[in-house]
Structure 1
């Protein structure tokens, strides 16, 4: 069966609502930990977008790029994110966070190399690294659920604060 053939997939929120609420609580705790650690919200979106690019999650890419734009993220940086190493658009902190997020997302390939971790430790404290690891882990879980259940992108709109 090709990706274009569609069969009915589970409505995840309806099937296990307690799990969905728990996952939402984990996400909220991660965001709170990142705020407490003074990790910039824009940086968290870059991490989420990059992991979603690697995983090929259209639903999460739609959501995360909408949120990035709502926070003032530029089209140039969003479009260049998949080639962040080739641009000058990202700060040293962003580069370290993106490398760490990629390593976590691709952990099955090569674990998290000491060089990547050391780069992150050079610009982030322990609480910030822990928050970034948590953000990467949570978005990877969301990616897998969205991909497996074929959640449809295009309907998300950021909430106004």
Structure 2
């Protein structure tokens, strides 16, 4: 696969739309914070969606941000297999499952079982925040992947 600069950079081609996405991102982050979602875990939620989407740019960024916010390297490392671990609380597991379902919405919508489990463990504000985090990172993943943002060792 070629990694040249032949893709349109969406942020540069439509800076007003990029700024609007940035503004929405800020609101989503504030909503998550207001709902009591820890900053580090909010990065893990975005990291999980980015893993599913295969967005290298967002994977690197949210891994760094999660670690900087105090998440452990163990929680970051096991994230793709979170169901097989004891690293996440029941509430975190419900949030991760919901982020995955929103990210995979084309696969089977958001299954009633996933939503019911989230509703049992998370408040309305938490559900809204988690779903908005998922929606927002899915926007960013698509911008970065479509633009083919360069991701390589920093010099």
TM-score by length of 1: 0.90
Is 2:45–2:99's contact at 8 Å kept on the other side of the alignment? yes
SS for the counterpart of 2:83 is helix
Count the aligned residue pairs. Answer: 154
Q: Which runs of 5+ in 1 are unaligned?
A: 157-161
Shift of 1:154: 4.8
SS for the counterpart of 2:24 is helix
Q: Distance in 1 between matches of 2:148 and 2:85?
A: 32
Q: Name 2:151's counterpart in structure 1.
A: 153
Q: Name 1:86's counterpart in structure 2.
A: 84
Q: Distance in 2 between matches of 1:42 and 1:122?
A: 23
Pairing 1:122–2:120 present: yes
Q: Distance in 1 between matches of 2:3 and 2:20?
A: 32
Q: Distance in 1 between matches of 2:59 and 2:3?
A: 22
Aligned pair partner of 1:48 in 32, 35, 46: 46
Shift of 1:103: 0.4
Aligned pair partner of 1:95 in 81, 93, 96: 93
Q: Which runs of 5+ in 2 are unaligned?
A: none
Shift of 1:70: 0.3
TM-score by length of 2: 0.93
Q: Distance in 2 between matches of 1:148 and 1:108?
A: 18
Write out per-residue CA displacement over residues 130-153 of structure 1, whole angstroms, 9 at most, x where no aligned residue: 111000000001001111111122
Q: Name 2:137's counterpart in structure 1.
A: 139
Aligned pair partner of 1:60 in 58, 61, 74: 58
Q: Name 2:33's counterpart in structure 1.
A: 35
Shift of 1:122: 1.5
Write out per-residue CA displacement over residues 38-67 of structure 1, whole angstroms, 9 at most, x where no aligned residue: 122122111100000000000000000000
Aligned pair partner of 2:108 in 103, 107, 110: 110
